[in-house]
Chains A and B, each alone.
Chain A
Amino acid sequence: MDTHSVVERVTRDSRGRLVAFLAVRCGDLAAAEDAVADAFRSALEGWPQKGIPENPDAWLLVVARRRLQDALRHAHRYEEFDPAHSGIAEVAEVASDDPVRDERLQMLFLCAHPAIDRSVHTPLMLQAVLGLTAERIASAFLVRPSTMGQRLSRAKRKIWDAKIRFDLPPLPEMPTRLAAVLEAIYAAYGTGWDDPAGSETSLRGLVEEAIYLGRLLVELLPGEAEAHGLLALMLYCESRSAARRSADGSYVPLAEQPCRLWSRDRISEAERHLEQAASLGSIGRFQLEAAIQSAHAQRIVTGSTDWVAIEYLYRTLVKIAPTAGAIIAHAAAASEAHGVERGRELIEALPPEEFAQYQPYWALLADLQRRVGQFDAARSNYERAAGLCNDPAVRVFLLRRAGICEVDLRQPE
């Protein structure tokens, strides 16, 4: 890690902690964020001349707390509210030399609270925990930046107005609440992409942030199998990032990737988390997805891919989490494990209107048609897939396949 990323990481950590610490006490997330941003601004202005204080976090806390108290008095002066329960009193009680307790877990659960619109869960998390700007989040989500800003403000306003609690969910609610947190983190990993494992990470933009959140969740909830499962899944996918594009930038599908380009470090880290998850003894969607990626990673050792095992894992996954991605990947795995016909049966049984704008559906359909020599249909469907694709390298790959179907009519494969 270079100096810049170390600084960024430390800032990110202490910023997130401070925001969580103050927001949990005052209940006003927007005000807590502003106060912490102010404190960091003061630090940037003052520290170069006066020197870095002995305990930077405590210094930041004192400044942020003062700003927050002023802001809360100002923001809520017209509202009917009892200062004793406004959070002001609680914020004032914070002793500056106490270590800042890590309450980012409460923050993660708050951001994915059922009372907050599901589409805002991930953006809120990225802003509250990581300090990302609305503009940056908007680009990753393909949303107009001013609209993203409004959605975030509205959600924060609701947290205050509806007095959404910052507590950890009670035990009976834990599984559903945790699922929402996991989904929000995974959405940061694959935002708006049909195939996160195949698309360019620089285009997707939030991969590093998603992994940061995944690690944070594992650190804060080491006993949750699915938290380990999610982190393992993202690490497996990232282990292949160097192999997904050839030297000239062309897309390389998984089956054609040379495994020497996969990151063994990432794979073994993923493996550790998957093992940890397994030892906790409760299976779930993300562990299954990670197990599928683990099976692919086995090619490093065995030199081949166990499609029968992968098909079985996908079949199980589709039963518990029938996402478009899982359904299509299952059909693809079935065609490898049990023949093209089995894959076609599965894909043809799907309602086309639900997949009409889902690129991998058309790409797989085209592949299966090409493999049985239906080149006209294949070409047309490759083109349709290419038209739906938002990754330039994958688009070129699909168009090349379409071209093969046109030119080389008599030469399957």
Chain B
Amino acid sequence: MQYTLLFGLTPEEFEARSNPEKKEAFYGAFFSYMKAIREAGIFVTAAGLQPPSAATTVRLKNGTRQVQDGPFADTKEQIGGFVVIDVPDLDTALSWAARYPCDDGGLVEVRPNLPTTMRSTA
């Protein structure tokens, strides 16, 4: 079963990712985490996302197309990246979520993926 772990970063964590002084600590922990996922043989795919300030949202509303600066969700934490893992059950996915190296306030949302057959017809 595939699960997507969505990493919710605080503004401070986004800042740390690009700050030359804090960058190394941030990525050091994160790369170890990704390495552990790969070595566990559960890695499917992953991506890191640029900060929400770089986002553009295209929305269809009342028959009109709107293009807006910024992400669609206005929350303090914003998605900073994700990894898709293939594990037997949700409990295992949650144990990997608990290993994600976030600072206080950071979070991981765990979502089961739709089955592959449904995705290919979608």
Q: Mask for A109-145, Cβ within 8 A of B = 1, else 0?
A: 0000000000000000000000000000000001110
Contact of B98 among A147, A192, A387 (CB under 8 A): A192
Q: Is the CB of A387 within 8 A of B32?
A: yes
Q: Is the CB of A392 within 8 A of B32?
A: no
B54 within 8 Å of A (CB atoms)? no
Q: Report chain A residues within 8 Å CB of B35.
A: 383-384, 387
Assign chain A's interface to a size class.
20 to 34
Q: Is the CB of B32 within 8 A of A390?
A: no
A357–B36 alpha-carbon span in the complex (Å):
8
- Minimum C-beta distance from A365 to chain B (A): 13
List CB contacts (< 8 Å) of B18-62 with chain A: 25, 28-29, 31-37, 39-40
Contact of A388 among B36, B91, B94 (CB under 8 A): B36
Q: Is the CB of A387 within 8 A of B91?
A: no
A327–B119 alpha-carbon span in the complex (Å):
44
Q: Report chain B residues within 8 Å CB of A334.
A: none
A398–B28 alpha-carbon span in the complex (Å):
11
Instruction: Across the interface, name the chain B residue whose C-beta is closest to A380.
Output: B35
Count: A-B pairs, CB below 8 Å: 56
A228 within 8 Å of B (CB atoms)? no
Q: Is the CB of B90 within 8 A of A387?
A: no
B residues near A (Cβ < 8 Å) are: 25, 28-29, 31-37, 39-40, 90-91, 94-95, 97-99, 101
Given contacts A142-B98, A356-B40, A396-B29, 18 further A-B contacts (CB under 8 A): A142-B97, A383-B31, A383-B35, A384-B35, A384-B36, A386-B32, A386-B33, A386-B101, A387-B32, A387-B33, A387-B37, A387-B39, A387-B99, A390-B95, A395-B29, A399-B28, A399-B29, A402-B32
Can you give 25 A-B contacts (C-beta < 8 A)?
A142-B91, A142-B94, A142-B97, A144-B90, A144-B94, A192-B98, A356-B39, A356-B40, A357-B36, A384-B36, A384-B39, A386-B29, A386-B33, A386-B36, A386-B101, A387-B33, A387-B37, A387-B39, A388-B36, A388-B99, A389-B99, A399-B29, A399-B32, A402-B28, A403-B28
